[in-house]
Structures are given as C-alpha cells and as structure tokens.
Amino acid sequence: MGQRLQLQSLLEIILGSRNVYFQPPETVKIAYPCIIFRRSNIDTGFADDALYIKNKQYQVIVVDVNPDSLIPEKVLNLPMCQFDRHYTANNLNHDVFNLYY
C-alpha cells in the first residue's frame, strides 16, 4: 500500500468514518465532520552533494461544526504533527496541521 493511502487509512481510524478526502475537487459533496489533506511540501536533506533524506509534508485540515471537537486533539497526537492555525468559515471550524508522514 502506498504511503498516502496508509495516511488515508490512519486518518479514517482517527476520524472514525470514511469522511477523509485527499485533494477533493469542488464537485465532491463533503460530509462533516471530515478531514481534508493534501501534500504541501517535501523536506529534503543533503550530505556530500547527495540527497540523503526526504520527508513528505501534508497539510491536514479537520473540519467540524462542533467548536469543541476532540478530533483535532487526536490528529495533534500523531508523530511529527504540528498545529498551524484555526479559522471559521461558513459556520464550520477548521483546524489546520502540518504533518510529516
């Protein structure tokens, strides 16, 4: 199984449903609460003029009507995960994280 699909499965377990979307197009009807994620960066390290490490970074957004949702806390407990920001749009709470996976 690919790395992104493993992350998808892990996020589905955290959420407790299949409402996990990877780069969803605007035509997809999203059910809430949900997790939306996309690849945002690849962190690289070099030694002796050669690439020796590369880590994919994903932006993970937890979207929920409930402002006191426990889902963001579960995502934050993942290794190599950092909280970025919170915002509200269309009466939905968005918690944004950066995750290396």
Look up the pTM and report it.
0.90
Indicate the length of the chain as a whole number. 101
The full set of domains in the chain, from first to last, is 3-100 (3.30.2000.10)
Bridge partner list, 43: 55
Name the region of 97 (left: φ>0; alpha: ψ -120 to 50; beta: rest). Answer: beta
Specify which residues 58 forms β-bridges with.
Answer: 39, 99
**What one-character DSSP code corresponds to residue 90?**
T
Q: Give the tokens for residue 94.
A: 């968005």
Q: Are 22 and 14 in contact (CB under 8 A)?
A: no
Predicted local distance difference test score (pLDDT) of residue 44: 85
Q: Can you give the pLDDT of all 101 residues of the chain as single tens digits?
A: 579 999 999 999 999 999 999 999 999 999 999 999 999 998 888 888 888 888 899 999 999 999 999 999 999 999 999 999 999 999 999 999 999 99
Please tell me the distance from the alpha carbon of residue 50 to that of residue 40, in angstroms, as a whole number. Answer: 23
pLDDT of the residue at 1: 55
